[in-house]
Amino acid sequence: MADSSDGPGGSCTIGGVSLAISGGPDSPLIPTVPPVRGVMYESDSQSRLAALRWMMQKAKMKQDMFLLGAPGPLLRHLVLRFCELFRREVEHVGITRDTGEADLKQRCEIRDGSVVYVDQAPVRAALHGRVLVLEGIEKAERNVLPLLNNLLENREMALEDRRFLVAPERAAQLRREGGAAERLVPVHT
Q: Tell me how far the alpha carbon of residue 175 is from its chain's centroid.
A: 26
Q: Which of 148, 19, 169 is nearest to 83 (CA)?
A: 19
In a domain, 7, yes or no: yes
pLDDT at 5: 43
Q: What range defines the domain where residue 21 resides?
A: 1-88
In a domain, 175, yes or no: no
In a domain, 189, yes or no: no
In a domain, 156, yes or no: no
Q: For each of the chain's 189 residues, which pLDDT tens digit applies? A: 444 344 556 899 999 999 999 866 788 888 988 766 655 555 458 888 999 999 999 999 988 888 887 777 888 889 999 999 999 999 999 999 999 999 999 999 999 999 999 999 999 999 998 999 999 888 888 889 999 999 989 999 999 999 999 999 988 888 888 767 778 899 987
pLDDT at 164: 93
In a domain, 41, yes or no: yes
Q: Which of 33, 13, 34, 10 is nearest to 23 (CA)?
A: 10
In a domain, 181, yes or no: no
- Tell me how many domains the chain contains: 1
Q: What is the pTM of this model?
A: 0.83
Angle at 22 between CA 17 and CA 28, to 5 degrees: 130
pLDDT at 54: 95
In a domain, 95, yes or no: no
In a domain, 57, yes or no: yes
pLDDT at 8: 58
Angle at 65 between CA 64 and CA 69, to 5 degrees: 160
